[in-house]
Chains A and B, each alone.
Chain A
């Protein structure tokens, strides 16, 4: 197993946090969406550091490739005619920021005091093992997920269909 330098994690983590804050705080929705794409790419880098190359590839394909494009299409389809959307921060946003900051500090303190194993076991297995788990041990949940996707596609088409007068 390749060992990655610890600084790589901190650089990627910094990118994830900065771009995630960008998603929340950009006024223009397109800028938020592009910041979200960069955040997802940095998260894919985190997966590579965790020896989960298959997940990293799926992250790039599904999140960066499909979901981001879908969101950008939705933004462009719903753009207000008069300039930018005037749906920026509401009055509660500072209250929300305080709540979120307190929750983050509490969770971080709890996690920091927990006694976890500090050495990676490099346990994330080869892709064959994951395929065996998905298609043998977890074949039934896999089928349920495919059914959920089918229902979601039908529902999305039905919702987005123009009403005939």
Chain B
């Protein structure tokens, strides 16, 4: 039987790979993809805790459903902003978006 730690370590590694992508890459769409990786890492941790904890059976899975819905909303808005920005400026680098300042 795989111990809980191994699932949590997998979630940690996946989260920080996503974080590395967010910090290192410059393309908006790729940053959105890396945020999805980070959300997936959180979901793995939630489902693993839900499976191993003696309390509140199924609560982790319910939470994961809410994360799914919010991830879908985040992708829809993020990609709409990216496409609108591309249509205006033909640029997608996060350091080129000077006109997105308030």
Contacts and interface: CB of A to CB of B under 8 A. Distances in A.
Contacts, number: 246
Of B7, B21, B58, chain A has the most CB atoms within 10 Å of the CB of B58
Contacts of B24: 24, 89-90, 92-93, 96-97
Nearest to A62: B68
A142 B63 CA distance: 10
Interface string A122-165: 11110001100110001001100110110111011101101000
Contacts of A155: 76-77, 80
A50 B48 contact: yes
Of A3, A62, A100, chain B has the most CB atoms within 10 Å of the CB of A100
A55 B76 contact: no
B5 A23 contact: no
B100 interface: no
B62 A29 contact: no
B2 A70 contact: no
Q: Taking chain A's interface residues, is the majority helix, strand, or loop, or is none over half, making it mixed?
A: helix
Contacts of A39: 37, 40
Given A58-B65, A78-B92, A96-B24, A120 B13 contact: no
A38 interface: no
Classify chain B: how many residues form its interface, as a range.
35 or more
Interface residues of A, number: 87
A71 B80 contact: no
Given A124-B51, A141-B66, A63 B36 contact: yes
A112 interface: yes
B33 A36 contact: yes
Contacts of B25: 24, 87-90, 93
Given A116-B52, A124-B47, A129 B57 contact: yes
8 contacts: A52-B47, A62-B71, A70-B79, A92-B24, A93-B25, A148-B69, A149-B72, A153-B76
A149 B76 CA distance: 9
A65 to B, nearest CB: 11
